[in-house]
Each structure stands twice: as structure tokens, then as C-alpha cells.
Chain A
Amino acid sequence: MKLIQKNIVPIVFIILCTIGFQYSGLSWIFFANDLMTRLARNSFLVISLIIPVLAGMGLNFGIVLGAMAGQFAAFITVVHNLTGIGGFFAACVMAIPFAILFGWLTGILFNKAKGKEMITGLILGFFANGIYQLVCLIFIGWLIPISNKALLLPSGVGFVNTLDLKIWQYAIDKFYVFRARGIDIPVLKYLNNINIPVLTLTIVVLLCIAVVLLFRTKLGQDFRAVGQNRHIAEIAGIKVDRVRIIAVIFSTVLAAWGQLIFLQNIGNVQVYGSHVQVGTFAVAALLIGGATVSKATIGQALLGTVLFHALFIVSPLAGKNLMGSAQVGEYFRVFIAYGVIGIALALHAWQRLVKKQ
């Protein structure tokens, strides 16, 4: 009973996804492949949220800035035509200075708004989007010269709204694709014919290991100490503000890389839109995995990514088939997906209440 109570959010989601899958009429192969793609492209972003949670800063909606850093790096590779896996990793390297700068600024802001990091991060995302649009729409081609005119609007100022990333699409996803065949074991045979992007998943696994190892170092312990109680940490001689800024910088850099992994799979970048949803979706996925604003694990991040995207795959078609109308399917999907995130938050609150009693 306690186990159910503890994991009520993921359980509700598993049930919903199963029912949704039944009604969606999708084939298992399609569903599994789509889910695998989405897991590979989103899990890195979700994991990037863990460090600030453990450092007591709640869910970092500021990862939108990390995504912007990643996109700036992507633009540089497109302008200079850096192709293939080399181009992708060049983008990862170039994203670091941007991400450190953005993370540092975010961290300073968060230190001024202790206890309200989440709402601050959310609004900061909107604000940063304004500046981002200013840079990409007005400064590019005017203050920042771009040699390749095909990337600019006809007036010569500002990026066009979609940039093709063919130059390094699938740089890591298609580096080595593993496809199981001929597994006969009853339960495992469902894994046949699923395209597994080995390198991407390896990178995600490495990241997971790195996060685990990080929390064994002195810095990691400082994160935890600050997360548990700022005042005690302060008395113990930890420079709380500094540790918090470092936590945000880590998160922002990881988000920048996460966004690059996302983009290399999608294959083009919506200059003015690709980063907008990053914060909310990653946060939603983490919450669905069973994490709370003060506690999150890697397992929860991965489980949450799987469940959140499984629901997004099945719910439009399930809604359409259940309601018999294409657009009701869309409303149904929005209602279910966001409604359940609301429920997830309510259930967390309820769990906390039960714990207190």
C-alpha cells in the first residue's frame, strides 16, 4: 500500500498510457520506435533538471536559456557549414561559453529571489525569449554580419524562421543503430525491430553515471547540503550563493547539450520556437516520473520521459477514436496531458500531507 502511495503518479500514468494505447489503434512497432526516438531526444534535457532540484532550487524553468545557448551554437555551425559528427560536437563545445554565461546570470537572479526560483525561472524564460528574438530578428545581419544570405530574411536582417540542420542531422543518432532480430524469449520478443540509437543512449547513460559520481564529490555533497538546509550549510562554511550558481550553470550547460541532441534528431531548427517549450515539457516529464520539487532521481527522470511521451503519442489518436472527431482528439490530448500534470502536482501535495501526519 505504501509503495502504491509513494508511486501513485507514475502508476496513474502507466494505466492511462495502457488504455490510450488500446484505443489509439497504433501498431506496437510504430509506438515503440516513436517512443525510442523521443526518449533518445528528450531524456538529456530532463536529466539536466536534477542538479538544481537537489540543490534546493526546485525545478529549473531557466533551462530555456540553456536551449537558447545550444541554438546559438547550432547557428554558428550552420553559418560556417561545419558538418557531420564533427560539426555536432563543435556545436556542443561552442554552446559551453554561452551556457555558462546564461547560467551564471540566471544563478545570480535566483540568489536574489531565494525560495521563488521556479516562478522566477518561468518569467525569466519569457524575458529571455524577448531578448533572443531581438538578437535573431534585428541584430543578425545588422550588427552581426552573416555571409550566407540564404539564411536571412529577404530584407537582409534577421534569420528566416526555419534553418535546415541537414549538415549534422542524426550525427549521433545514426552513428550506430542497433536493431534486435530474432529474440524468441516471450516477454523480450517485443523488443525486436526497434531502432536503438546506440551512441545517443550511451551518451545519456554516461551523463547518468556522471551525475551519480558528481554527487559523491565534495561539490556534490555541497549541493545536497545546500538543498537540505541553506542556513546550516552556511554555518558549516559552504558558500551557499556560489554553490547555487554552480548548480544552475551545470543545469544550463546540460540543457544546451540536450537541446543540441534534440535538434540533431529533428533535423531543423525553428529559430523562434524550438526552445520555448523546453522548460515546461522537461519539468512535466520529471514530475510524471514521480519526482517532486525537492527530490528527483535519474530513474524518475527516465521513467517520466517514457511515460510523458508515451501519452503524447497515443492520446491524439485515442481521443480521435474515442470521440469520433479529429479535433476532439486534439482537445482530449491537451486535456489529458496537461490535466494529468496538474493531478501529478496535486498528488505530490497530498503525499506530503500524508507524510506530515
Chain B
Amino acid sequence: MKRFAKVMFAVALVLALGTAAFAAPKIGIMTGTVSQGEEEYRAGEEMVAKYGEDRVIHVTYPDKFMDEQETTISQVMAMASDPDLKAIVICQGVPGTAAAIDKVKEVRDDIAFIVGTVHEEPYMMAGKADILYEIDQPARGSSIIEKAKGMGAKTFIHYSFPRHMSYPLLATRRDIMEKTCKELGIEFVFVNAPDPTGEGGVAGAQQFILEDAPRQIEKYGPDTAFFSTNCSMQEPLIKSVVKGKAIYPEQCCPSPFHALPNALGLKVENKGDVPYILNAIEEKVKELEMEGRIATWTAPITMNFIRAGAAYAMGYANGEIKDKADIETAKKLIQSFAGGEPKVVVTPVSHEDAEKATPTATYITVKVPFNGAFLSQTVKVEVKQGDVRIRPFDAEKAQNFLMVVGESIIFGK
């Protein structure tokens, strides 16, 4: 028996050493659970499925991330204790991320950090993480208001609470919104909502929205646009907006998957199928007679932060990306994801046009059914990426802090 144990031990040792010697480099992904928003967690799962369980470690930060920063730190440290791990993607970068990165860098300086949706002070975070992706909040300050105006809004309601208003980017966005509203002649109303991480929790915050939004519609009329800075408030907000036939220009984290399907009662089987969900929302919006009253971005932006972040992390782990903060590659990656699915645009053209055109353009001749026969026709085929704009938060001091604006879509228009 003793001998058997010895043999087993030897085998185990050989196996352990063997796997260590040939182990492929790994990446770590930290997301939230599905409690506040489902997208990041699902994107994390998608990455595990894409790259394999042996290459990706997926963990979650606590639901009560404000209270349990020590757990966030421990979780990141536990990932970093794996010697094969080369890069960590954190999305969202909840408070505690900065401390966690510091703690890891004390023991291992070789790990690259990619952070999506940054909660903490931008300049400080730009100094700690290697690549940061964030929605261009200041730009949204004007773009959301302009969109709301286009959708017919006369009043703009902004739901938030002190903790969020202490986030520099969100505070700046609110200020820009207020200014833009004044310029465009829209009444800007700031409504204080309960903090979902406070005593009442998520349920308390959601209940407040369900009660307050109808009150506001009654007060200001249906031509009121509603916006909230918090993920968990979106679903009750959309429900209230649909009920009162008000206007909903964008979620806090714009995406066709974020809160819209659940609020509209749509079933989502595949979280990656963008054209399907856009179509489904479009039909539902028409059915509810809410045409031109609900909008979002075509690409699920936070999911794409994780997809692009994981691709970057994998590239770094495999040695394809040499520099920890390779800003150009990071830009290209988010560009390739944030545009949503590439769209194929087919336009019929005449033979003469095709002949005159440059040889690099793609023109093909297709046979189309016509009166029981086939007619050959030349078409121009273009592959269009969605319209994505990327700019650094600060071109001098924070070049690695990339802010992204995606393409907007207003349903039923």
C-alpha cells in the first residue's frame, strides 16, 4: 500500500511538473455577477468557451463591491498567483481595482491589465492599468441630448445619486447634458434616486423608478426623455417609459442586450446575435406603437470591452503583442468589435460603372430571378463596419485611456 502511494505520488509529481513545463499562458477575466447587469458575465463565459477553460480563469467581483473591496483585491491576487497567468481583464473596473492592480504589481510586474468601464479616478487609473476602455461619457453628454431632441423630447430627466455623481466622468457628462439642454431649449431635470448599493439595495432603487417615472410623465407629459446612470434601474425605467409612451434615448451602458429585451419581454437565446436582437426589438417597438421613441447603440459596448480586452490579453500572453500598453493594437481590436457585426451592403450598379470603377472595389455579377428566368446583374459589395469613434481621455497624460462612441439606432424609424 505504501509503495502504491509512493508510485502514485511520483506519477502526480511528474504530471504536475509536466503540465507546468508545457502549460499554455493564461489570461484572467473578472466580471460582475448577473445581479446588476448580465452582459459582462455572459461575455466572460463566452471568452472561456472561446479560448478554453485551461486558458481563461473567470472570476467575479462581489455584488456589494463598494463594501467588499478586500474581496475584489483577493480575487485578483488569487488569479495572479497562477504563474502561467500573463494578463488580466477587469470589466467593470469597480472601486478596489486600483488597489488590486497595485498589490499584484508588487509581486508580479509582468502581468498586463486591461480595464473596461472605469469607475475610479481616470488619471490615477491611467497610471495603474495598461489599457483602459471606457464609453465616451463626455461626448455622450451632448450626443444623448441631441438624439433626445431629435426624438421629440421637451424635458430630459436624469436619474442618479451622490455616489455616481462622485465619478468624475459621470459628473462631467451630467454638466455637459445640462449645458446642451439649455442650448437646445430642453428642460433638464435632475432627479435623485436611491443608491442601489445603499440600505434599500437594488430592489429599493428599482421600486423608486417604477413609482417615480409615471409621476414625472404625468408632470411633464409624454414628450419626456428618461436617462439613468445605473444599470439596475434600466429595466424598470424602460417599462415605465413604454407604459407612459415617453422617450428613452439610451441606457447607461448602451447595448441592444442591456435591459431592453427583458423590459420588452423578448427572449434572448444567443447573447452574441446582434442582427437578431435588433430585429426583434424593432418588431416589438412597432407592436407597442413606440416608433421613434426608443433607441440604443447597435453594438453591445461593455461586452465588446471584454471581447477586445480578452483578445488583447491573449495576444500579450502568447507574445504576439510585445508592449504591455500597445495603444494602436488596442484601438484596432475595439474597432473590430465595437462596430457590431460587419454589415454587407449590396447595391446594384450598371456594367459601365463597374468597368469604370477601380479594380480594388468588389463588383460581382449575380443572377437574380426575373419573370421565371434569370437575369444577370452587376452589384457592388461593400463590407461596412459600424461607425465607431475612439479618442484618448487625455492626449498627453492618459493616452492609454481609450474612450469609445458607438453607432446609434432609433427603433421603428
Which A positions have Cβ atoms within 8 angstroms of B? 26-27, 30, 34, 38, 126, 133, 136-137, 150, 153-155, 158-164, 169, 266-268, 270-274, 276-277, 280, 309, 312-313, 316-317, 320, 326-327, 329-331, 333-334
Q: Is the CB of A164 within 8 A of B124?
A: yes
CB of A124 to closest CB in B, whole Å: 13
The answer to whether B33 and A316 touch across the interface, beta carbons within 8 angstroms, is no
A280 to chain B: closest residue by CB: B67
Q: How long is the Cα–Cα vector from A320 to B71 in the complex, in angstroms? A: 14
For residue A309, which residues in chain B have a CB less than 8 angstroms away from its CB? 70
Please determine whether A277 and B78 come into contact, CB atoms closer than 8 angstroms: no
Q: Is the CB of B60 within 8 A of A327?
A: yes
B199 on interface, CB distance cutoff 8 Å: yes
Q: How far is the CB of A228 from chain B (nearest CB, A)?
A: 34
Query: What CA separation (Å) do A164 and B71 show in the bound complex?
Result: 19
Tell me if B267 counts as interface (CB < 8 A to partner A): no
Do A137 and B165 touch (CB < 8 A)? Answer: yes
B74 part of interface (Cβ distance < 8 Å): yes
8 Å CB contact of B74 from A159, A161, A313, A331? A313
Q: How far is A158 from B99 in the complex, measured between Cα atoms in Å?
A: 22
| Nearest B-chain residue to A161, judged by Cβ | B166
Which residues of B line the A interface, CB within 8 A?
A: 31, 33-34, 41, 44, 58-64, 66-71, 73-75, 77-78, 81, 95-96, 98-99, 102-103, 119-121, 123-124, 162-163, 165-168, 171-172, 175, 199
Please tell me which one of the listed residues B60, B81, B121 contacts residue A27 in the complex, with CB atoms under 8 A apart.
B81
Rounded to whole angstroms, the CA-CA distance of A313 and B172 in the bound complex is 37
> Quick one: which of B44, B167, B175 contacts A326, CB cutoff 8 A?
B44
Of B60, B61, B102, B123, the residue contacting A150 (CB under 8 A) is B123
Q: Which of B103, B124, B163 contacts A273 (CB 8 A)?
A: B163
Q: Is the CB of B168 within 8 A of A154?
A: yes
CB-based contact B33/A161 at 8 Å: no
Give the Cβ gap from B134 to chain A, nearest Cβ, in Å: 15
Instruction: Decide yes or no: A160 and B67 within 8 Å by CB, A126-B199, A137-B166, A271-B166 being known contacts.
Output: no
Residues of chain A within 8 A (CB-CB) of B123 are 150
- Contact between A276 and B124, CB atoms less than 8 A apart: no
Residues of A within 8 A of B171 (CB): 153-155, 158
Contact between A273 and B81, CB atoms less than 8 A apart: no
Which of A27, A154, A273, A312 is close to B95, meaning CB atoms less than 8 Å apart? Answer: A273
B123: nearest residue on chain A (CB-CB)? A150
Identity of the chain B residue whose Cβ is nearest the Cβ of A151 in the assembled complex: B121
Say yes or no: B67 contacts A276, CB within 8 Å: yes
User: How long is the Cα–Cα vector from A333 to B70 in the complex, in angstroms?
Assistant: 13
11 extra A-B contacts, CB within 8 A, seeds A277-B66, A316-B71, A334-B63? A137-B165, A158-B165, A162-B98, A266-B73, A267-B103, A270-B96, A277-B67, A309-B70, A316-B74, A326-B58, A327-B60
